[in-house]
Amino acid sequence: MVKATFMFGAGDVRVLDVPDPVLQESTDAIIRVVRGCICGSDLHPYHSMPASGTGRLMGHEAIGVVDSVGADVRTLTPGDFVIVPFAVHDGTCVFCREGFHTSCVHGSWLVGGQSEALRLPWADGTAVKVPGVDETADEALLASLLTLSDVYLTGWHAAHMARVAPGQTVTVIGDGAVGLGAVLSAREMGAERIILMGRHEARTDLGREFGATDVVAERGEEGIARVLELTKGEGSHVVLEAVGHAPAYEQAYGIVRPGGVISRVGVPQFDSPPAGFGQLFGKNAAMTGGPAPVRAYLEDAIGRVLSGAINPGRVFDRVVGIEDVPAGYAAMDARESLKVMVKP
Amino acid sequence: MVKATFMFGAGDVRVLDVPDPVLQESTDAIIRVVRGCICGSDLHPYHSMPASGTGRLMGHEAIGVVDSVGADVRTLTPGDFVIVPFAVHDGTCVFCREGFHTSCVHGSWLVGGQSEALRLPWADGTAVKVPGVDETADEALLASLLTLSDVYLTGWHAAHMARVAPGQTVTVIGDGAVGLGAVLSAREMGAERIILMGRHEARTDLGREFGATDVVAERGEEGIARVLELTKGEGSHVVLEAVGHAPAYEQAYGIVRPGGVISRVGVPQFDSPPAGFGQLFGKNAAMTGGPAPVRAYLEDAIGRVLSGAINPGRVFDRVVGIEDVPAGYAAMDARESLKVMVKP
């Protein structure tokens, strides 16, 4: 038996003993989870999920050790230390080859990351071995590697899709773990000025350490006015939107510069954003973004973490054991915690 | 006195004798119009303009000869043969320098292109001299140069903003003059497959000559299904949307490939296009486009026209004298004509 986290409805998270996960397909692997975590996006069902009799297996971020592999798995061996991205993909379809693994024809979302062990479909296409590292590595390194399963590379994806370039002004909307990853990524890509819009001081302080040159706590029209003031009225070349709610998007088109780009990685909670002549078209502003194909960026990012160039794991400010995952949800929901790590 | 075209309301186009235009600012030039034309976008007010007592001076595309220049004009001399873009701009502000002249801080839209002469503000920043050409050039060359004031380079802008690259599949929605310019541009940029969605056979035939490899006459769900069938279910890397109405945009997100780009140059007749998880975000599809800063592309395009590499002037299928401009509007409105040239 292993302990695993399930959600049974809004606010109802339980850790249950369930049978060990087993190989079902020849392309599967079983991963013993070394560290998992709770995602800001897990708070959406935590707020709104209808009651369920069977519950939903939670957790889509993990690092771990390969326990067993199916007959067709070629790149992983039991004992390998791996990063498991939040999206499962075969790694070979046309969209994976084009770098958009989140549109894989065999794609699904990872589940079981908040458990002691998980079944990973399409193991070769999804997980990546971290050379020279095992679970005895220091906590800071493990934390940074864990962010490569989602949040840091989701921030990276935002900046990558916007083609952030040296000399640009980049504004990041949202001071959650993804927004802070976007700040760090924009710095890595050479942005000259990085404006972080957020109002949780502990988070924006970390944002400054990650590379933010300015912090704007104001929201709405006041926030727009402040960013325009900081940019001589010209606006921001790139806006990285890491929230997903309509007011954040409205800020984005208010501050994007003519010819600029809004890159969205906050899952949009609306279907028809204002995007006509007055918002985007008239000033040739582009809108891009979507679920991050973190697999496309993983080897590069592992190298930067192992070299010490980046330390995205600093977004974790609390660690809980597997039994305390429900308390971790409550802490993130109450904004007492930026991001909670799970140590099974 | 010169003859000039005014619109007094929907369907009410008149050619009037008005005083010669005169220099008002030191940065102005007076241009004698050699050829003007009627734009698809002129049909919007032709359908919906409220009655006006004073009328609106029409025409935003022209080639002509410089008649006189203000004291601060440096790059133009009386007698120069010039192309006049549809947007007026100073050429020196930060947005002009970044290649987005349509967002110039001194910007406006050209008026007077359907006249015998026009006053051009910001002449240095706006008009470009065509070396070695005068008004006695052959009609085909004049026609192609005239398209550089708007329609061909608006199509080019769509493809440029989408970063069309060799090997890609590009779908163009709309078989008007801009759509056909987009086809020609996609071919110039090396697209491997160019699917033209349109159902006016004379136009799509010209589209094939411009480089379309496939024509899809179906619209809506049928049109989407046909494009997906042509692309093995994968969709089009790039969609160039040259219509501006909601059904065209709905086709665009239906056929764009994961990680692909929708580039809009049809002026959007709606403000809140569906652009949530199900339309764009989920598949990392981007939306870009806007009014074309044709000035940014003009020297390059003049070179390609003069060398004979491209012949975008073939979109003109009717020529009218200045007195017959109202009949030209009627012909375009009735779709008896693709694009009408005005020869004052």
Burial of A18 (0-12, 13-18, 19+ CB in 10 A): middle
Residue B111: is its pLDDT beyond 90?
A: yes
C-beta neighbour count of B50 within 10 angstroms: 8
Q: Does one domain contain both A16 and A145?
A: yes
Q: Does one domain contain both A163 and A268?
A: yes
CA B178 to chain centre: 5
Q: Does one domain contain both A226 and A125?
A: no
* Interface size between A and B, measured as CB pairs under 8 A: 122
Residue B269: is its pLDDT beyond 90?
A: no
Residue A35: is its pLDDT beyond 90?
A: yes
pLDDT value of residue B270: 87
Kindly state whether A95 is in contact with chain B, defined as any CB-CB distance less than 8 angstroms.
Answer: yes
Cα–Cα distance, A194 to A211 (Å, whole number)? 7
Start-to-end CA distance of chain B, whole Å, equals: 13
Q: Does one domain contain both B219 and B100?
A: no
- Suggest the residue from A163, A269, A271 to mutate for an interface test with chain B (most B CBs closer than 10 A): A271
Residue A270: is its pLDDT beyond 90?
A: no
- Per the rule left: phi > 0, alpha: psi between -120 and 50, beta: everything else, A196 is beta
Cα–Cα distance, B313 to B35 (Å, whole number)? 12
Query: What is the percent of chain B where pLDDT is above 70?
Result: 100
Q: Does one domain contain both A284 and A301?
A: no
A51-65 pLDDT, tens per residue?
Answer: 999 999 999 999 999
Number of domains in chain B: 2
Q: Does one domain contain both B125 and B181?
A: no
Kindly state whether A284 is in contact with chain B, defined as any CB-CB distance less than 8 angstroms.
Answer: yes
Q: Does one domain contain both B144 and B263?
A: no
Asked which of B269, B289, B309 is the last residue of a domain, the reply is B289
CATH number at residue B197: 3.40.50.720
pLDDT value of residue B231: 98
Asked which of B289, B313, B329 is the last residue of a domain, the reply is B289
Domain span including residue B279:
155-289
Asked which of A274, A289, A304 is the last residue of a domain, the reply is A289
Residue B174: is its pLDDT beyond 90?
A: yes
Kindly state whether B97 is in contact with chain A, defined as any CB-CB distance less than 8 angstroms.
Answer: no
- Closest partner residue to A276 (CB to CB) among B272, B279, B283 is B272
Q: Does one domain contain both B111 and B19?
A: yes
CATH number at residue B135: 3.90.180.10
| Angstroms from A118 CA to nearest CA on chain B | 25
Q: Does one domain contain both A166 and A231?
A: yes
B238-255 pLDDT, tens per residue?
Answer: 999 999 999 999 999 999
CB contact under 8 A, A264 and B281: yes
Q: Does one domain contain both B96 and B185?
A: no
Kindly state whether A267 is in contact with chain B, defined as any CB-CB distance less than 8 angstroms.
Answer: yes
Q: Does one domain contain both B278 and B302?
A: no
B26-58 pLDDT, tens per residue?
Answer: 999 999 999 999 999 999 899 999 999 999 999
Residue A151: is its pLDDT beyond 90?
A: yes
Contact A83, A130 (CB under 8 A): yes
CB contact under 8 A, A286 and B285: no
C-beta neighbour count of A17 within 10 angstroms: 9
Take residue A304 and report the two structure tokens written for it. Answer: 């930067």
pLDDT value of residue A269: 87
Query: What is the percent of chain A where pLDDT is above 70?
Result: 100
CB contact under 8 A, A277 and B287: no
Give chain A positions within 8 Å (CB) of B234.
94-95
B129-168 pLDDT, tens per residue?
Answer: 999 999 999 999 999 999 999 999 999 999 999 999 999 9
Give chain B positions within 8 Å (CB) of A282.
290-291
pLDDT value of residue A222: 98
Cα–Cα distance, B157 to B167 (Å, whole number)? 19
Mean of the per-residue pLDDT values for chain A?
A: 97
CB contact under 8 A, A284 and B259: no
Kindly state whether A293 is in contact with chain B, defined as any CB-CB distance less than 8 angstroms.
Answer: yes
**Pairing verdict, β B12-18 and A169-173:** unpaired
pLDDT value of residue A200: 95
Nearest C-alpha neighbor of B169 from the set B142, B197, B204: B197
Give chain B positions within 8 Å (CB) of A103.
258-259, 282-284
Longest alpha-carbon distance in chain A: 61
Average pLDDT over residues A265-281: 92
Q: Does one domain contain both A338 and A297?
A: yes
Assign A324 a pLDDT band (cuts: 50, 70, 90).
very high
Average pLDDT over residues B330-339: 96
pLDDT value of residue A112: 98
